Structure 1
Amino acid sequence: MPYEWSKTTTPKQLTLWPYRSLPRRGFVVFIGGTAALISLPLLTVLGSPVLWGLLPFFVAAVAGMYWALQRNYRDGEILETLTFEGPRLHLTRHGPHGKHQTWEANPHWVRVETQAKGGPVPEYITLAGGPRKVELGTFLSEEERIALAQELRQALRDHNARTDSP
């Protein structure tokens, strides 16, 4: 799952990140393999002036693929951290291009809401109870959002039970 609860007990923390189907090592292998396969037809025209006419197109194809995959990695650099700290619940979101957002609320009043349909994604998760509603884990799959919503509700119940007891 592309989210993880902290192993320590205090403060309890949830970290979420987008799933990467192509890790960095696979990226290098893919670009290298693509360059090798694209260069195979160039072997037939090696030593002729046709090579210089075809070469820019092959270089542009590999460079375009490299640029597109790098852009995808940059756009997917999202990290959401939800921290249960005493009487406060903190959510920080580090988005692509250095975008940083924070949200804070009293966990006693926070509700985990899901929208099966009608949201930007199926099983859309929002946290309500602070100055505004915030979304959580929109990059997760539908099944992961369903499981996360249940885990969040349980974590809020557990946290509130600990802080409410004398």
Structure 2
Amino acid sequence: MLGIALVMAVIAGSFASMGAWLVLPFSGAEWVLLAYCFRLGLRNCRIREVITITETLVQLERGYGTPEQIYRFQRAWVALDWTESPIKGYPSRLSFRSHGKEIEIGRFLAEPERAALASELRKILFDSK
């Protein structure tokens, strides 16, 4: 970010030296917005979901780096729900459902990764019983 700021400052400074001084505050505002978006992207890269499946329990831990939310389902009652989007280009939805509670999983995954996760979860949850 420092390198980008330096390049932006040189460009804005050269325009300001030619009399276009109004470029400076807009260049600064642009850098602040870029830094905010960069920070937001880095934060979203730290999203974690850990699914633990035992003989009697399905547990989902979700958070940024460390678990912030923990959801538990009885394995015998859990359903894996895969919903394709009716609108082309929009992501599908994969979720655990049990007793009226539904928790979406894998929101941050690409479509092929979400499909692979659904397939693997089906094998583990339902084929091994």
TM-score normalised according to structure 2 size: 0.72
Matched with 2:58 is 89
Bigger relative contact order, structure 1 or 2, given CA contacts below 8 A and separation 6+? 1
Runs of 4+ in 1 over 4 A off after TM superposition: 48-54
1:92 shift after superposition: 1.6
54 and 128 in structure 1: CA distance in 2 versus 1, 3 angstrom threshold: closer
Q: Is the 8 A contact 1:104 1:130 kept in 2?
A: no
Matched with 1:10 is none
Structure 1 position 157 matched with structure 2 position 120: no
Matched with 1:143 is 112
> Which structure 1 segments of 5+ residues have no match?
1-30, 162-166
Query: Counterparts of 2:15 and 2:101 in 1: how far apart (Å)?
Result: 64
Query: Counterparts of 1:155 and 1:146 in 2: how far apart (Å)?
Result: 14
Query: Counterparts of 2:103 and 2:96 in 1: how far apart (Å)?
Result: 5
Output one character per residue of 1:113-158: Cα deviation in whole Å (capped at 9) or x when no partner.
Answer: 1011259x53311112355121111121121111110000111135
1:42 shift after superposition: 4.6
Query: Counterparts of 1:59 and 1:81 in 2: how far apart (Å)?
Result: 40
Aligned residues: 127
Query: Counterparts of 2:36 and 2:81 in 1: how far apart (Å)?
Result: 38
Q: CA RMSD in A?
A: 3.4
More strand by share: 2
1:89 shift after superposition: 1.4
